Amino acid sequence: MNDKILVAVVAVDKCLYPFDNLYDYRIPDSLADKVQAGQLVMVPFGKGNRKRIAMIYSVEQKDCDPAKLKPVYGTAGNGVTMSAELLDLSVWLKENTFCTYFDAIRTILPHGLNFSVRAEYSLAEGTADLTDSEKALLETLKAAKTEKELSLLLDSAAEKKKTVESLTAKGFVVRGDIMKRHIGDETERMVRLSPDFELNDRFARLTAKQKSVIETLIDNDSASVKELCYICSVTPVVIKNLVKYQLLEEYTYTLTRAESAFAQTESSPQDITLSPDQDKVFGGIAALMTEDKPNCALLHGVTGSGKTSIFIRLIDLVLQQGRTALMLVPEISLTPQMVSNFQRIFGSDVAIIHSNLSMGRRADEYRRISSGEARIVIGTRSAVFAPLDNIGIIVIDEEGEHTYKSDRSPRYHARSVAKQRAFRHNSLLLLASATPSLESFYNAQKGRYALFTLSERFNKTDLPEVYLIDMKAEQENGNRGNFSEALLHEIGKNLENGEQTLLLLNRRGYHTYISCINCGAVMECPNCGVPLTYHKANETVLCHYCGHAERMPDACPKCKSTYISQSGTGTQRIEDEISGYFPKARILRMDADTTMSKNAFSDRFAEFGRGEYDIMVGTQMIAKGLDFENVTLVGVLMIDKSLYSGDYLGYERTFSLITQVVGRSGRGAKIGRAYLQTFSPDHYVLQLAARQDYAEFYSQEIDVRQALLFPPFCDICLVGFSSLSEQHCETAANRFLQLLKDRIKREQNLPIRVLGPTKMGTGRLGGRFRRKLVIKCRFNKQFRAIMTDLLLQAYKDQAFTNVSFYVDINGEII
């Protein structure tokens, strides 16, 4: 009969999907009081007992034979503990996005707080005889002064791998495996007086420098070693001796790299005056928050209607109730302005999470949140996993933006994760936008969400006047440039009046198409087969898909002709052209090429807000959420491309982009104008966007979605395949289709439509050929079980050898 033993139920890192299960490990007595659910531990895995990192999902008493279970080796001493909610969320991610447990865990935990298994070496006195090469290497290793130096020497001796292995086998080199956190804490050495310190004869015998240190600590309680050395003009040896004499005690203080921890409050939420319309919306949403159940509301407000003021008042109400708040924004570019607004009111209560933060700063922000030091979190998509407790409200601003959907494993949507958290905490999920997603507005129309509307701007100013410019007519009149005469005239007028202008072109680079006039060859990416884009700043042609770069050639690589044609337009060329038209204008370009540095977004936007630039040229990062009172003119260039993207979301995204960027104009006291340059001025989407008529756009688009069976009337499941071999890729896609057909025959009441397999996008990306299956379905428990079984079958099928494949729910299907 087996005894009850303490068992850790864990998920193990680096498991392939077919083997990604929960495993039982025996907890040794020495660790019995140290392990708990949510901890990272080290365990042996597989036949070779390779040491792996694992996450404990539960600690249980089980009837089993201890000899049949492998032991837990150790715990992460300086790690974080995932809450029960976040553990459950990782299981939900696995089940709903078809990822592995550790794909989910790595997404939830900041990279800097994750662990890996690292080798640690030391030298020992072996007894065996050594060869000349072994003796030489051992003498080199003995010269190492620290463990780190020893490890570096062993790493640099990779070409002598057999000699290192021989020294290890003979006992001269000892290898141990440890759990190493990716990013350590920022710490500082501190000292204070010993608890039993007294001013007695012993103090009188100290040197003048030692007395100076003691007297400084009597006045200040504690200080860092660096501070004492500077203030008292002493060396660290003086302090070290005082610690040795037990007059001082030394300890380590953890510093924070989170700049938000030092933010100061400058105003109060009560300083915000709401308009009657805002106050009505605030009251209605606040009433939902008093109900003892989870709720979801949609706030549909025109651009400039003052949605942010309502967010602040609602979050203040949540804090008064002793709860916490989470706010998501779609772009990193929006974070600085939003954070600045909130920090002025809530100070260090605000934490920031987005991908542009360093690993150390993200780790420190995570610790601030989990400790309760920060009660408000603002960030992009990944912030939805912030370790907040007792959440009262989750706000998703511009909720229809595609950036809330992850395009890599786990392929989750932040809105779906936010719903899970809202249910868990009995809290309110508030979706907000001037252009809500059709799915959200449909749910509001059906009564599944509470709907609140702000139809006027906060300051009662009119929405911008919008003009559609027919670029075909411009060309017929002899204007072959990128700017219409009307837009150039308005830019000149703005410069004369000291007002600012935004120019949107959602394409970076200088020229987007390089070809040979003689033979017609187009410069394409060797990995993706797409045209390379010319970047004038560094004289290179670049692939915006995989990053391949090469110098701009002087002659055609195929026929050697020097007649090279450059066509197409990106933001770099627009910057050059507008400088030619207005040489004295101060121009700021905002795109992925100019915002790579740490504080690029906040610094450039702050400079523009202070009036240091007249014109901002940028991609979609300048289209949403920005608030500059002196911007009175917006120009949108070459908007037609997004209309014909081939994705069912193309019209929705085009309408949203135009509405949002037009809304950047006239947010102050002056009336705004917007000029949309297009070759399709009669297209109904552009006409409705110019009128900013969301209701009519929704009415027409929802009818199309229903007729063609697209969300919200179904779910879209994309199964993607990629391989270095085009034949292998096509074979795998067709085989998966056959497996799906065979499975459907055994199911009942399974409404499903399958399209494909077809090429995905350009058909090749990063040197890998790509194919896709598109399945229109209902993403319910039955369908999830079918897809899980099919994925497991595929991993065992030889047709999928050397082929990567994945499942994506309600993502892009181009």
3-state secondary structure at position 682:
coil
Indicate the pLDDT class of residue 750, thresholds 50, 70 and 90.
Answer: confident
pLDDT of 588 higher than 60: yes
Each as own residue / partner, the long-range contacts of residues 65-68 (CB below 8 Å, 24 or more positions apart, any chain) are 65/2, 66/3, 66/5, 66/26
Question: Does residue 676 surpass a pLDDT of 80?
Answer: yes
pLDDT higher for 591 or 729? 729
pLDDT recorded at residue 787: 95
Strand order in the sheet with 40-45: 22-26, 4-12, 50-63, 40-45, 74-75
Per residue, the 3-state secondary structure of 633-659, as one string, reads EEEECCCHHHHCCCCCCHHHHHHHHHH
When pLDDT is cut at 50, 70 and 90, the band that residue 422 belongs to is: very high
- Note every long-range contact of 400-403, with CB atoms under 8 Å and residues 24 or more positions apart, other chains counting: 400/433, 400/435, 400/436, 400/437, 400/440, 400/652, 400/656, 401/330, 401/331, 401/624, 401/656, 402/649, 402/653, 402/812, 403/330, 403/331
pLDDT in tens, 623-653: 776 778 888 999 988 888 778 777 888 899 8
- Model pTM score: 0.83
> Which of 552-561, 600-609, 627-636, 710-719 is most confident?
710-719
Task: State the average pLDDT over residues 187-207.
Answer: 79
Please report the pLDDT score of residue 413 as a whole number: 96
Q: Which residue has the tokens 């292998």?
A: 728
State the residue for tokens 């459950």. 88
Rounded average pLDDT over 46-74: 89
**How large is the average pLDDT for residues 533-554?**
80
Per-residue confidence at 93, pLDDT binned at 50, 70, 90? very high
pLDDT tens profile 142-177: 777 777 777 777 766 655 677 777 877 777 777 767
Q: What is the pLDDT of residue 733?
A: 96
281 neighbors 310 (Cβ within 8 angstroms): yes
Cα–Cα distance measured from residue 240 to residue 396, given in angstroms and rounded to the nearest whole number: 53
Q: Choose from 209-218, 226-235, 345-354, 448-457 the range with maximum mean pLDDT.
A: 448-457
pLDDT of residue 232: 84
d(CA 429, CA 328): 11
Answer whether 602's CB lies under 8 Å from 484's CB. Answer: no
Residue 786 binned pLDDT confidence (cut-offs 50, 70, 90): very high
- Does the structure show a pLDDT above 90 at 181? no
When comparing pLDDT for 275 and 79, which is higher? 275
Above 70 in pLDDT, residue 204?
A: yes
Residues 51 and 66: their CA atoms lie apart, in Å, by 19
- pLDDT above 70: percentage of residues in the chain: 93
Q: Give the confidence band of 97 by pLDDT, cuts at 50, 70, 90.
A: very high
pLDDT in tens, 282-315: 999 999 998 889 999 999 998 888 898 999 999 9
- Model pLDDT, residue 706: 94
Q: How far is CA 348 from the centre of its chain?
A: 22
C-alpha 352/C-alpha 377 separation (Å) is 6
- Residue 501 CB coordination number (10 Å): 28
- Specify the pLDDT at position 121: 72
Residues 370-388, mean pLDDT to the nearest whole number: 93
Q: What is the DSSP letter of 405?
A: B
The average pLDDT across 252-271 equals 72
The rounded distance, in Å, linking the Cα atoms of 663 and 608 is 17
Residue 600 binned pLDDT confidence (cut-offs 50, 70, 90): confident
Ranges 330-339, 463-472, 603-612, 751-760: which has the least confidence = 330-339
- According to the model, what pLDDT value does residue 182 have? 64
Find tokens 């391949």 and name the residue. 548
pLDDT for the residue 798: 93
Mean pLDDT of 660-673: 82
Summary mean pLDDT of the chain:
86
Q: Is the pLDDT of residue 504 over 70?
A: yes
Average pLDDT over every residue of 81-104: 95
Tokens of 493: 């007028």
Query: Looking at the predicted structure, is the pLDDT value of residue 254 above 80?
Result: no
What's the pLDDT band for 784 if we cut at 50, 70, 90?
Answer: very high
- ω into 526 cis (within 30 of 0): no
Q: At what angle do helices 276-290 and 307-320 cross, to 10 degrees?
A: 40
Does 1 have pLDDT greater than 60? no
